[in-house]
Chains A and B, each alone.
Chain A
Amino acid sequence: MQYITTIGLEVHVQLKTQSKMFCSCPVGFGDEPNKNTCPTCLGLPGALPVLNRGAIERTVLAGIMLGCETPPISKWDRKNYFYPDMPKNYQISQFDLPLCLGGGVLLYDHCYPKDAQKDIEESGKEIGLTRIHLEEDVAKSTHSSNGTSIDFNRAGTPLMEIVSEPEITSPEEAFAYLNSLRQILIYGDLSDADMEKGQMRCDVNVSVRPDSQEELGVKIELKNMNSVSAVRRALHYEISRQIRVVKEGGELVQSTRRWDDDIGETQQMRIKEDAHDYRYFPDPDLLPVKTEDVIKKMRLQVPELPHQKAKRFVRDFSVSEYDASVLSSDRDLALYFEETANESEAKKKVANWVINNVLAVLNERDLKVAQCPVSPSKLALIIKMVESGKISNNQAKEIFAVLFDNPDKDPDAIITELGFEPADSNLIESIVEEVVSNNPEKVKEIQEGNDKLINWLTGQVMKASKGKANPKIIGDLLRKKIL
């Protein structure tokens, strides 16, 4: 019997604002505990919340980027529960009029796990969103044997909750969903969305059912996955566990399970008798928001999305589709490529260079694209030198390596230092003549129209010149001689 897996994700994302959602305390990471606090985010009696316009604007922008609808009026509600990370005993959230409804996340091929990119079940699949609402993050609690310690620096950080429809059908799709979503959030400069830093957190709902069964299986919630890969691992484990239970005639109970990444297992946390009764009601302390003006303003700030950028690279720069998707997968990489390409005639060469050489050197040194010391204009200059025949591609790589450590150096000066003076043109010409006279049959074939053989002859000249000559110049010389 085949089993169908149904997965839905609830993703919490910390917004990259200066101040908290309902007070002016700074938002940050790594400060002394409880430093960034005030009566509002400590939940002291009588303190009143005030809405952060920047957080609302960012959420609306997220909605526009993800194709959501924003209701004309959005309001704030209290979600009541008791826990020391939320001392006023309710979290301010949004219940029936959230900032965004509907929309979807397009799963990008390059966002699937590397080992699964060859057999993507449904390329271009879009996962529908139920809603996105804005709420406040809670304080951070640390449990020890003799008590629980609470730091309120995080309390009140603007938090977007992005809820997907149960349309994800495999751990690989869940992986691609999280990575695609993350990429879009980074493109919009809405969040750094780093799961390992807790800027993006995710609860997973998963159920299995035999393919003969119409209704969904028992929903089980997974918590405590601290990376996108951990979500994939947890789902693989949990899906096999659920199928095993069903096969053995056992019964699954609606419950919450905690993923332990070290031992690679999910463990029962609690069984849900009822859904939590949060007794949501409108927060009288906060006035509703009319969204029309916010939407108008944010429409003007919608950035190009990764797949739109990739399309444009193919169209305007004649880059291959694959290269375009690699280049657009990282906002900073796309920017670096585009700046270089704009200063260069050979756009395709720039794409090759950025993907094959620049990325390789950055990876080697464990650096991010934004940290690349070689400026786009210097890279454009090096590529131009290769194109004009002044230096060979291999020499260009060496110059790039030198520039990497001495970004202020002048490429021309490096050429002199490394002794990359162009090979004596008389010498090259004599080698060309020699190669032509040694290969009369090949020359004849070329003259009869087999243009590809020029490359073979070029290779011979390159070899004889010990790589000093420029293949483009040799090609031109050969054509002049033969044709």
Chain B
Amino acid sequence: MQDKSIDVNYVADLARLELTEDECERFSEQLNKVIDFIKQLEKLETDSIEPMAHASPVYDVMRDDVSRPGFGTDTALLNAPMTSNNQFKVTRVVES
């Protein structure tokens, strides 16, 4: 496991969160404690333990490929703050 302490500013940026300097410091301390807690796992002997792909040991929950009608346009757009030509309208997203 990596030994670096967490870069809260960077993670907040990825999550589109704006944090004050104070919050940054506080969360840094808290999150590093969480990481330290998880680090206890490193002390365990895990060589003979099979890795898990999911926390729950259940597999293959699937449905058959059968379709059923969706909402329909009007219902789908009920929550939309803005619409245009039966579409959700958002502020222009420019390919940066």
Interface residues of A (CB under 8 A from B): 17-20, 24-27, 32-38, 41-42, 50-56, 73, 75, 80, 82-84, 97, 141-152, 258, 269-270, 277, 279, 282, 284, 287-290
Asked if B91 and A147 make an inter-chain contact with CB atoms under 8 angstroms apart, the answer reads: yes
B20-28, B29-37, B40-48, B56-64: which lies at the interface: B56-64
Interface residues of B (CB under 8 A from A): 14, 16, 53-56, 58-73, 76-77, 82, 84-96
| Sample of 9 more A-B contacts, CB < 8 Å, known A17-B65, A141-B93 | A19-B68, A24-B63, A27-B67, A35-B70, A73-B53, A97-B53, A151-B88, A277-B14, A288-B59
Can you identify 23 A-B contacts, CB atoms within 8 angstroms?
A18-B66, A24-B67, A24-B68, A26-B69, A32-B73, A35-B76, A41-B70, A52-B62, A52-B63, A52-B65, A53-B62, A53-B64, A55-B65, A56-B62, A80-B14, A97-B53, A145-B92, A147-B82, A148-B91, A148-B92, A149-B88, A152-B76, A282-B53
CA distance A393 to B71 in the complex (A): 59
List of B residues within 8 angstroms of A148 by Cβ? 89-93
Asked if A270 and B53 make an inter-chain contact with CB atoms under 8 angstroms apart, the answer reads: no
Asked if B65 and A289 make an inter-chain contact with CB atoms under 8 angstroms apart, the answer reads: no
CA distance A142 to B72 in the complex (A): 20
| Closest residue on chain A to residue B83 by CB atoms | A149
List of A residues within 8 angstroms of B54 by Cβ? 75, 282, 284, 287-288
Asked if B88 and A34 make an inter-chain contact with CB atoms under 8 angstroms apart, the answer reads: yes
Asked if A34 and B56 make an inter-chain contact with CB atoms under 8 angstroms apart, the answer reads: no
Within 8 Å by CB of B65, from A18, A41, A144, A149, lies: A18
- State the total of A-B contacts with C-beta under 8 angstroms: 134
List of B residues within 8 angstroms of A83 by Cβ? 93
Within 8 Å by CB of B59, from A34, A50, A141, A290, lies: A290
For residue A55, give the distance in angstroms from its CB to the closest CB of chain B: 7
Asked if A75 and B53 make an inter-chain contact with CB atoms under 8 angstroms apart, the answer reads: yes
List of B residues within 8 angstroms of A17 by Cβ? 65
For residue A86, give the distance in angstroms from its CB to the closest CB of chain B: 12
CA distance A17 to B93 in the complex (A): 30
Asked if A147 and B86 make an inter-chain contact with CB atoms under 8 angstroms apart, the answer reads: no
Asked if A33 and B86 make an inter-chain contact with CB atoms under 8 angstroms apart, the answer reads: yes
| Closest residue on chain B to residue A87 by CB atoms | B88
| Closest residue on chain B to residue A27 by CB atoms | B67
| Closest residue on chain A to residue B51 by CB atoms | A73
List of B residues within 8 angstroms of A35 by Cβ? 70-73, 76
For residue B47, give the distance in angstroms from its CB to the closest CB of chain A: 19
List of A residues within 8 angstroms of B60 by Cβ? 287, 289-290
For residue A158, give the distance in angstroms from its CB to the closest CB of chain B: 9
List of A residues within 8 angstroms of B58 by Cβ? 287
CA distance A36 to B70 in the complex (A): 4
| Closest residue on chain B to residue A35 by CB atoms | B73
Asked if A19 meets B65 with Cβ closer than 8 Å, knowing A34-B76, A147-B84, the reply is yes
CA distance A25 to B77 in the complex (A): 16
CA distance A290 to B59 in the complex (A): 6
Asked if A84 and B65 make an inter-chain contact with CB atoms under 8 angstroms apart, the answer reads: no
Asked if B86 and A26 make an inter-chain contact with CB atoms under 8 angstroms apart, the answer reads: no
List of A residues within 8 angstroms of B84 by Cβ? 147, 149
| Closest residue on chain A to residue B64 by CB atoms | A53
Asked if B92 and A147 make an inter-chain contact with CB atoms under 8 angstroms apart, the answer reads: yes
| Closest residue on chain B to residue A33 by CB atoms | B86
| Closest residue on chain B to residue A24 by CB atoms | B68
CA distance A315 to B19 in the complex (A): 72
Within 8 Å by CB of A150, from B66, B70, B87, lies: B87
List of A residues within 8 angstroms of B59 by Cβ? 73, 287-290
| Closest residue on chain B to residue A139 by CB atoms | B88
List of A residues within 8 angstroms of B94 by Cβ? 143
**What are the nearest 4 A-B pairs in CB distance?**
A54-B65, A149-B87, A288-B53, A19-B67
List of B residues within 8 angstroms of A147 by Cβ? 82, 84, 89-92
Asked if A33 and B73 make an inter-chain contact with CB atoms under 8 angstroms apart, the answer reads: yes
List of B residues within 8 angstroms of A73 by Cβ? 53, 59
Within 8 Å by CB of A84, from B16, B63, B90, lies: B90
Within 8 Å by CB of B70, from A37, A56, A270, lies: A37
List of B residues within 8 angstroms of A54 by Cβ? 64-65
Asked if A50 and B63 make an inter-chain contact with CB atoms under 8 angstroms apart, the answer reads: yes
Asked if A38 meets B65 with Cβ closer than 8 Å, knowing A84-B93, A147-B89, A287-B58, the reply is no
| Closest residue on chain B to residue A142 by CB atoms | B87
List of A residues within 8 angstroms of B86 by Cβ? 32-34, 151
Within 8 Å by CB of A149, from B55, B72, B89, lies: B89
For residue B4, give the distance in angstroms from its CB to the closest CB of chain A: 15
List of B residues within 8 angstroms of A25 by Cβ? 67-68, 70
List of A residues within 8 angstroms of B91 by Cβ? 147-148
| Closest residue on chain A to residue B93 by CB atoms | A148
CA distance A165 to B17 in the complex (A): 37
CA distance A270 to B94 in the complex (A): 12
List of B residues within 8 angstroms of A27 by Cβ? 67
CA distance A71 to B74 in the complex (A): 43
List of B residues within 8 angstroms of A151 by Cβ? 86-88
For residue A133, give the distance in angstroms from its CB to the closest CB of chain B: 14
